[in-house]
Structure 1
Amino acid sequence: MMYDTILVPTDGSKGANAAARHGLRLAEAFDSQVRFLSVVDDRTYSSGLAGIDSEANDQREALERQATDALQVLEELGDETPTTYQTAVEHGVPHEMILSYADEHDVDLISMGTHGRTGLDRYLLGSVAERVVRTSDVPVLTSQSEPEESSGYDRILIPTDGSDTATAAVDHGLAIAEQYDATVHVLSVVDLSAVVGSYDVAPMIESWKERCERTVEGVAEESENRGLDVVTDVVEGTPYRAIQQYIESEEIDLVSMGTHGRTGLGRYLIGSVTARTVRTSEIPVLTV
C-alpha cells in the first residue's frame, strides 16, 4: 500500500500546521508527494459582487492574502524535509473544495487538523475536518497536536469490530506500522451499552466476546505474517471510552480505524465511535 500523493489543507491554524507535520512525516516514510491547499471560503464575502463592489473586493483580497500566508508557513515546513510539494489556493466551500481537489489530483491520503480558526474548536460537529472524515473516499489523518520530534509512530492501535471498514483500516494501520517498525495493538470492545435492557444478557455478551476474540486473532495473524510485534486485547465497555482509555494506558502514537462499524447507519452517524474518537483524541487518528 502506498500513499503517492498526500493532501494537507490549511487555514493557517495551529491544528493545520500540526497536521502538515504529520503529513510530511508520512510522506517521508512512503516517498509521497505533498499538496498544500488553502481554501478561501467564498461564503464569507459576497463572491458575486467581488468584481463590482469595492468592499467585497477588499474582503476577497484580504482572505486571499490570509490563504497565501497560511501556505507560506507550510512551505517552510516542507523545505525542512526532502519531500517535494505543490501549493494551491482555491475558492469555494472548504469541505467540498478539499474533497473535489483530492478527487481531481488522485490524492491517496488527506492530513488535516481537527480544529481550525472557527474558535469553536473540535467540539463543533459541523467542522470542516469532521465533514471531510464523514464523506471522503480516501483515508483522512486528523490530528490536533504536533508530532514529537524524536520518534515516528512506535505504537499503533487498530480498534476493530470485524466490519468491512474496520478491515480496511487494518490494512492501512499495518502499512504504516511496517514503515516505522511499530508494535501493533489490536483492540476489540464488547459494547455493553448495546445489550442494556435485553433479556438474558449473559449469553449475548459471551457470543459477542467470542466474535471479538476471533476478530483480533485474525488481525494478529496478519501482523505476524508481516513480521510485526503485536498485542491484542478484548475489553467490555463503551467503545469510544474503552479506546480512549487504551490510548492513554498504552501510550499509543496513532490510531487507524474505520469510519463506521456494525451499526449499519453508515458514516453519516455523527455519534459514531470514530467521530467521537476524532473529536477527543490527543493523538493522530487515521480514518478509513
Structure 2
Amino acid sequence: MYNRLLFPTDGSEIASSVFEYALAIASEHDAEVHVINVVNTTLDSVADIDRNGIGDLENEGTRIVHEAVEQAEERGITVVPNVVHGKPYESIIDYGEEFNIDLIVMPNHGREELERFLLGSVTERVINISKVPVLTVNPSVDHDHSYPARDVLVPTDRSQGANRALSEGGDLANTTSATLHLLHVVETAMMDPDIGSEPPDEQLEKRANAIIAEGVEAADTAPPNSVTRSIVYGRPHREIHSYIKANNIDLIIIGVHGQTDFNQYALGRVSANIVRTSPVPVLMVRQPAADETDSSCEGNPQ
C-alpha cells in the first residue's frame, strides 16, 4: 500500500520521536523511507550569511539525515537521505511529487523556539497543498503511537473528500486487518441546546443513516465484518475526540476535496482542530478537484 515514505526532519527530539512511527509504517509495508533536511535559504538570517554559513547548514543537514539512516538501518529499513534547499513546505511538496512518494509523515508541530523548520505552519501548508497523503503525529501527548493501527476512524459527511478518506480507510483495513470505524456527526450547534443527544428530527436521522450507508459502500475494500457504524449528535470536533477515547482509536483518516476545503494557509475549522489536538495520528488525504483530474484531457469543458 505504501512503497515510499517521506520524512522531513530537523534533527530535533520532536522529529526523532515521530521518526519511530514512520519506521514502524515502513516496516509493516516493506517500504523505503526518504529522509530529507531542508536548508531554508529563504530566511533573512540565512540570506545575510556568507557561503561558509550555508555550508555549515548543509553539513548539519547531512549529519541529521545520516543519523536517521543509522537508526533505520538498525531495523533493516532502506533509507534514501537528501539535503535540499528552499522554502520548507515547497521543498517537501516538490520532493514528494518528484520521487513518487506515497505518504509524508510529519510532526504536527515543531521546535518553535528556533523557528527553523518543522513549525506547525509548515505542516499545515504541506497538508493544504500536497497531493500526497500527509500523516501527522502529535509528539506532545502521552500516547502509545503504535502501528499498524487496530482501530481506524473515518468521519464521514457525504463529501468527495470524505469518500476519498473512506477509500483509503478501506484499503488500510484490508491490508492491516484493522477495524474501520465510520462516524457521522450530526452538528447540533445551531439547534435547541435542550435537545441533548436525542435525534432532533426524523429527517436528520434518515439522512445520517443514508450517509453512513454510502460510507460503507465507499469503503468497499474493507472486509465487511471489520466495519462499525456510528451516528452521534453534537459538535464535530468534540464528538470525534470523545469517540477516539471511548473506542481506543489508533488512527484518524480525514479527507479533503481539491484545495477548496482549506483556505490558502489555514486548515478548515474542524480539520484544523483535529490535526492540532488529536492524541492519535491523523492521516489527511485529498480528493483531486475536477479541474486537476481533467486538466490533461483535451477538449474537456472546465
Return the TM-score normalized by structure 2: 0.79
Matched with 1:187 is: 183
Give the distance between the partners of 2:169 and 2:53, measured in 1 at CA.
43
Q: Cα distance, 1:9 vs. partner?
A: 0.8
Is 1:86 aligned to 2:85, yes or no? no
Matched with 2:39 is: 40
Matched with 2:95 is: 101
Which is helix-richer, 1 or 2?
1
**SS of the counterpart of 1:119?**
coil
Contact 1:182 1:228 in 2 (8 A): no
Q: Cα distance, 1:237 vs. partner?
A: 0.9
- Kindly provide the CA deviation profile for residues 59-113 of structure 1, in whole angstroms up to 9, marking residues without a partner as x: 3233223322331332133113333120100011100110111111111211111
Give the distance between the partners of 1:63 and 1:87, measured in 2 at CA.
15
Give the distance between the partners of 2:125 and 2:269, measured in 1 at CA.
13
2:267 equivalent among 255, 267, 270 = 270
Cα pair distance change 1:250/1:149, threshold 3 Å:
closer
Aligned residues: 274
Give the distance between the partners of 1:111 and 1:189, measured in 2 at CA.
27
Cα pair distance change 1:281/1:73, threshold 3 Å:
farther
Q: What letter is aligned with 1:30?
A: H
RMSD of aligned Cα (Å) = 3.1
Matched with 1:284 is: 281
Matched with 2:135 is: 141
Give the distance between the partners of 1:63 and 1:157, measured in 2 at CA.
40
Give the distance between the partners of 1:151 and 1:68, measured in 2 at CA.
28
Give the distance between the partners of 1:120 and 1:92, measured in 2 at CA.
17
Cα pair distance change 1:180/1:196, threshold 3 Å:
same
Cα pair distance change 1:271/1:89, threshold 3 Å:
same
2:169 equivalent among 173, 179, 191 = 173
Q: Cα distance, 1:46 vs. partner?
A: 5.5
Cα pair distance change 1:19/1:32, threshold 3 Å:
same
- Kindly provide the CA deviation profile for residues 165-186 of structure 1, in whole angstroms up to 9, marking residues without a partner as x: 1110111122222232111111
Cα pair distance change 1:32/1:231, threshold 3 Å:
same
Contact 2:135 2:284 in 1 (8 A): yes
Matched with 1:246 is: 243
Cα pair distance change 1:40/1:150, threshold 3 Å:
closer
Unaligned runs of 5+ in 2: 286-302
2:226 equivalent among 207, 225, 229 = 229
Q: Cα distance, 1:213 vs. partner?
A: 1.8
Give the distance between the partners of 2:147 and 2:95, measured in 1 at CA.
31
Cα pair distance change 1:125/1:239, threshold 3 Å:
farther
Contact 2:7 2:19 in 1 (8 A): yes
Matched with 1:162 is: 158
Deviation larger for 38-47 or 162-171:
38-47
Cα pair distance change 1:36/1:151, threshold 3 Å:
closer
**SS of the counterpart of 1:258?**
strand
Is 1:110 aligned to 2:104, yes or no? yes
Cα pair distance change 1:147/1:174, threshold 3 Å:
farther
Matched with 1:129 is: 123
- Kindly provide the CA deviation profile for residues 28-87 of structure 1, in whole angstroms up to 9, marking residues without a partner as x: 2323222111101112356556xxxxx433432332233223313321331133331201
Give the distance between the partners of 2:93 and 2:145, measured in 1 at CA.
30
Runs of 4+ in structure 1 off by over 6 angstroms are none
Return the TM-score normalized by structure 1: 0.83
Contact 2:112 2:119 in 1 (8 A): no
